Amino acid sequence: MPPEMRKAKVRDLPEIARLNNLEAQYVGERDQTFFKRYLKIPYFLVSEDPRGLSGFIMVMSPQVEYDSPNFGWFQKNIPSFIYIDRVIVRQDVRNNGIASAFYQKLEEERGRIPLTAEVSILNENSMSFHLRRGFHEIGRFAADGKKECIMLKKD
């Protein structure tokens, strides 16, 4: 049974920030204020289970004002795209189809616009997940002395 998904709300922000920061080595630490700025983007979804939030996904169009060097790399290199900024799934429910459900919904709604994402070279699980979903490497990028990321695209 697919997980229940809905738009992220203000009340979700503490748990979104907590889940995000558990994965800070891959996605960078963020506070509630950061996530609050993006509550109105069309594709900021959470999944829930009886224990609370089980995950979230944040997706940007190229028109969103987003101060991310990785996002900027895609803006400079791809004329039209949908940017998957982050997908976080609670540790105890990983490998239960939550991330796949987020991606399936996004893929059904995107039309012909390519999907893009970047994955830290340290995150082998995420890289395997993206390759299984049909993404391929289109470049590598390291911003501001951070670890190198693999830039991915799915047509």
**All structural domains of the chain with their residue ranges:** 4-154
Distances (CA, A) of 69 to 4, 16, 73, 145: 32, 22, 6, 11
Per-residue pLDDT band for 6 (boundaries 50, 70, 90) equals very high
**Percent of the chain beyond pLDDT 70?**
99
Strands 82-89 and 115-120: parallel
What's the confidence (pLDDT) of residue 23? 92
What's the confidence (pLDDT) of residue 26? 87
For residue 122, the 8-state DSSP code is T
Mean pLDDT of 54-68: 91
Out of 3.40.50.2000, 3.40.50.2020, 1.10.12.10, 3.40.630.30, select the CATH number for domain 4-154.
Answer: 3.40.630.30
Per-residue pLDDT band for 2 (boundaries 50, 70, 90) equals low
Distances (CA, A) of 72 to 43, 66, 77, 138, 141: 19, 8, 9, 15, 11
Mean pLDDT of 99-124: 92
Report the predicted TM-score, pTM, of the whole model to 2 decimal places: 0.91
Neighbours of 127 (CB within 10 A): 17
State pLDDT tens for residues 13-34.
Answer: 999 999 999 999 888 899 999 9
The dihedral over CA atoms of 105, 107, 111, 116, expressed in degrees to the nearest 10, equals 130
